[in-house]
Structure 1
Amino acid sequence: MHGSPGAVPVVVVPGGPCRDPAYLGDLAGLAQTRTLVILHPRGTPATGGLSRGWWTDAADLLGVADHLRAPTVDVIAHSAGTRLALAGAAQHPGRIRSLALVTPAAAWLTGAPHDGEALAAERNEPEIARALASMKGEAPTDETAFQRAVAAEAAAGYARWTPTERQHAAVGAMTWAAASAWFRDIPGDAAARIRAAPLPPTFVLGGRADILSGVEPVRAYADALGADLTLLENCGHYPWVEQPVAFRAALDDWLLLRTSSAPSIGSV
């Protein structure tokens, strides 16, 4: 948990999947205005064990709300974690007050063609070429191959590949076994059930240079969810690292709309 006691809480779901949440930091200082309650999904290094699949694990998100004795909570989710957040909102209507979905894994929800390769083609960098080759190769089938792919594809997560981004990419461990388990036992109609659900107010924040999520899939995703959408310039998959000022402004504006009616941790 990051932030001051008495501040309005927001539950944060990391991506990866099942990546150690250390890579989130304090979300570019968001903990100065909100108390960040960080979910450690099943399968992250601190939890032990493995995920039951993101659709089932969505119940853990509501478990956090129950622990806070909060009837509703705001949720910020990143990347793969946006699946769990949407599953929680769809399966437990009324418990999630608002959703902020940051650089979401998007193409699966609508079937929109992924345009990450076109974005990669705009960058004449050997690291991006290696990342793209790895992304187009065979999916890893063991831990060694998985870690090799994670290392090779890291540069594709950022609009630039400077020492700052390289340092950030090394934070937050995840494993092949945990990432694989995240996708087990998902209902075949999960995407349709989410699209048909009465979702809470939703905000999607993407990056115009996000090779991993793409741009057009994120547009289609936001449209399917009836969500507000902001795309940050010169930004890849980690906007709090790459564009911290713009990221904070976007999240602060969104969360400010919901602060007045939200209970603080000190009042629940």
Structure 2
Amino acid sequence: MHDSPGAVPVVVVPGGPCRDPAYLGDLAGLARTRPLVILHPRGTPASGGLSRGWWTDADDLIQVADHLEAPAVDVIAHSAGTRLALAAAAQHPGRIRSLALVTPAAAWLTGTPHDGAALAAHRSEPEITRAFASMNGESPGDETTFQRALEAEAAAGYARWTPVERQHAGVGAMTWAASSAWFRDIPADAAARITASPLPPTFVLGGRDDLLSGVAPVRAYADALGAHLTLLDDCGHYPWIEQPAAFRAALGDWLARVSQ
């Protein structure tokens, strides 16, 4: 954590869901410019226990703010973690000062069809073919098939599949039990309650080659939230790994803006 007395803490919510936050690294050096507090959501290896569902687990983010004695916090959330961040903002008005939602799992909010296959039209790697075969297959029903699916689908998370991306894909464990629990007991009107809520200033950062989230769903998601949207070129689901300088600049500029 960067020591900056008086600075509003930035709480970081990992994705997965319930993936060990080790895969976040230092967010391309962002930790050197603002205090980062990494949430270990219920279900991550160090948290103990399983999620109560992301809608209810949103209370944990507010408890972190309380522990920090912060009236409000800035939040950076990645992928599936963006659901928890939005739920916290909707249920606890005023406690989230700003939201930065990175490569969000977006289609659920607006129902916009996923366009990952069209984005992958120029990709010829056999790993991409294997990834889409897995993504279009049956949902895993146990730990073994879940881990096999994670391995098969890893390449779809990146615009390129070089040794750098291969190494990163193996960082940060997650489990079928934790992932399944994340989606339990979610209100049927969760999306409507979020979009009807007076959200804080919100920034959505996506990748133009994000085969997991797609691009059309992310555009619709940002529009539904009234958010500022930036899409990074030659970038998939992990912009701090794939485009670290652009990621650091985009998030740094956003955090500086909401700090004024």
Query: What SS does the corresponding residue of 1:75 show, helix, strand or coil?
Result: strand
1:3 matched to 2:9: no
In the alignment, the residues of structure 2 paired with residue 5 and residue 238 of structure 1 have an alpha-carbon distance, to the nearest angstrom, of: 27
Identity of aligned residues (%): 82
Identify the residue that residue 229 of structure 1 maps to in structure 2. 229
Identify the residue that residue 142 of structure 2 maps to in structure 1. 142
Spell out, residue by residue over 1:108-136, the C-alpha distance to the aligned partner (whole angstroms, 9 max, x if none): 00000100111122201100000000000
Identify the residue that residue 39 of structure 2 maps to in structure 1. 39
Contact kept? 2:76, 2:99, Cα under 8 Å? yes
Identify the residue that residue 210 of structure 1 maps to in structure 2. 210
In the alignment, the residues of structure 2 paired with residue 232 and residue 150 of structure 1 have an alpha-carbon distance, to the nearest angstrom, of: 24
Contact kept? 2:42, 2:51, Cα under 8 Å? yes
In the alignment, the residues of structure 1 paired with residue 120 and residue 183 of structure 2 have an alpha-carbon distance, to the nearest angstrom, of: 26
Identify the residue that residue 190 of structure 2 maps to in structure 1. 190
Identify the residue that residue 18 of structure 1 maps to in structure 2. 18
In the alignment, the residues of structure 2 paired with residue 138 and residue 89 of structure 1 have an alpha-carbon distance, to the nearest angstrom, of: 33
Query: What SS does the corresponding residue of 2:234 show, helix, strand or coil?
Result: coil
Runs of 4+ in 1 over 6 A off after TM superposition: none
Spell out, residue by residue over 1:35-83, the C-alpha distance to the aligned partner (whole angstroms, 9 max, x if none): 1100000000001110000000000000000000000000000000000
Identify the residue that residue 65 of structure 2 maps to in structure 1. 65
TM-score, reference length from structure 1? 0.95
In the alignment, the residues of structure 2 paired with residue 50 and residue 213 of structure 1 have an alpha-carbon distance, to the nearest angstrom, of: 25
Contact kept? 1:202, 1:228, Cα under 8 Å? yes
In the alignment, the residues of structure 1 paired with residue 35 and residue 122 of structure 2 have an alpha-carbon distance, to the nearest angstrom, of: 39
Superposition pairs of residues 112-191 of structure 1, within 5 angstroms: 112-191=112-191
TM-score, reference length from structure 2? 0.98
Unaligned runs of 5+ in 2: none
Contact kept? 1:210, 1:235, Cα under 8 Å? yes
In the alignment, the residues of structure 2 paired with residue 204 and residue 129 of structure 1 have an alpha-carbon distance, to the nearest angstrom, of: 28
In the alignment, the residues of structure 2 paired with residue 100 and residue 227 of structure 1 have an alpha-carbon distance, to the nearest angstrom, of: 9
**What is the CA-CA distance between 1:159 and the residue it aligns to?**
0.2
Spell out, residue by residue over 1:124-161, the C-alpha distance to the aligned partner (whole angstroms, 9 max, x if none): 11000000000000000000000000000000000000
In the alignment, the residues of structure 2 paired with residue 131 and residue 24 of structure 1 have an alpha-carbon distance, to the nearest angstrom, of: 22
1:77 matched to 2:82: no
**What is the CA-CA distance between 1:5 and the residue it aligns to?**
4.7
In the alignment, the residues of structure 2 paired with residue 218 and residue 83 of structure 1 have an alpha-carbon distance, to the nearest angstrom, of: 13
Identify the residue that residue 266 of structure 1 maps to in structure 2. none
In the alignment, the residues of structure 1 paired with residue 212 and residue 240 of structure 2 have an alpha-carbon distance, to the nearest angstrom, of: 16
